[in-house]
Copies of this chain bind each other. A is one copy, B any other.
Amino acid sequence: MSASQFSTKQRILGAAEALFAQHGFAGASLRQVTTAANVNLAAVNYHFGSKDNLIEAVFRRRLDALNARRHAALAKVESKPDATLEDALDAFIRPALELALDRRGGAAFMRMLARAYAEHDERLRRFLSDNYGHVLREFAVVFHRKLPGLTKDELYWRLDLVAGALTYTMADFGLIKRRAGTSETAHREYTIEHLLRFAAAGLRAP
């Protein structure tokens, strides 16, 4: 009889996500994680091989779905001949915000992502680039088409800054309680509108 309806693997992933978000990758120990997940200490190395592999698995669980949604949304935008920069940005932002507002740990994951972004860790950057870089490159191509007059270098670091600011901002949005009386849909649309305007202005700056 386990202590939860979820499997050992899933309980480890959930506890690790929350603790990595709170204390960082170096700051959260496997003993904290396994205690919170109510599993044996050795279970992490049995199921994931190492702490580094666990970190990657925590990312993978959420980012696989996020990237698939972003890819599909961008494809839909590309099928319309009169799509704007804002439409492409919406395809980028909306899936991420839905993830950030997900009730089962979405906010914790977003905070973890923001920390990873701020860490500039080489190993983690390579992992993210190798596994999810192709979708980001698709977006970069589309953005480049919507933004002639920007050199490739200029576009790339602007995208990096915009993505960073969005990630950081969304990590905090998960913590903000929405105003009473507003539906979750309204809250999401209000937030997307806000982020989208900021991102578009940043990308279009002279």
Contact = CB atoms under 8 A, between A and B. Distances in A.
A22 to B, nearest CB: 8
A194 interface: yes
Q: Oligomeric state, in number of copies?
A: 2
Contacts of A164: 168-169, 172
Where chain A touches its partner, the secondary structure class is helix
A202 B160 CA distance: 19
Interface string A127-170: 00000000000000000000000000000010011001100110
A120 to B, nearest CB: 7
5 contacts: A24-B26, A24-B27, A26-B27, A197-B201, A197-B205
Given A118-B171, A194-B205, 6 more contacts: A22-B120, A111-B118, A117-B168, A168-B168, A197-B201, A201-B201
